[in-house]
Amino acid sequence: MQEEMSRLDFKNAAPGVSPEDFIFSRIDFSRYKEIPEKEFEELYLGGLDDFNEVFLKNNFGLGLNEIRSLIKNSYKKAEGTFKLQRENPVILSIMRTLETSLDDKPLFNAEECGDGFFYSLISSLDGVTVTHGDGMTTRLFVSADGGLSATFQPAGKPWTRVLVNVNGFAIPL
């Protein structure tokens, strides 16, 4: 996504075209025509669980199970890949959102863990570095507000995002 955005030249947008429409018209959706099996199952089908029902309904007018069914019915497995059977704006938008959206659910929350364990878990992850299969590293740290954040380095450019927000409450020590 970063590469695609860096190639945009808004001077080339036609008069009256919104920035969103210009960006959408320049997106390369070819990556969604044929997806390796593991990526398809882990990122697109498994990744659906990272989004809440309200987000999905607000963005696509469909719920989790409807989207999962749409994805499964839009692709056919063939020789270790999944191939898109017929392009349409809805499936392309869903696939793009699952790959790029930062509006996912928190990694975990206090209700799932129980308060004491929740804060202990966040504290124990402070300073942990995760090395991914592609060699990229992610550094976890406790942010100033007590939440868990991570610094990623796609294409060698670091960026940070909140993984678990504690709504401004400091971690009790």
DSSP reduced 3-state for 130: strand
pLDDT at site 168:
44
pLDDT at site 77:
96
How far from chain centre, in Å, is Cα 151? 15
List strands edge to edge, sheet with 81-84.
34-36, 81-84, 75-78
Residue 112 has pLDDT above 50, yes or no: yes
pLDDT, tens digit, 9 for 90 and up, residues 44-79: 999 898 898 999 999 999 999 999 999 999 999 999
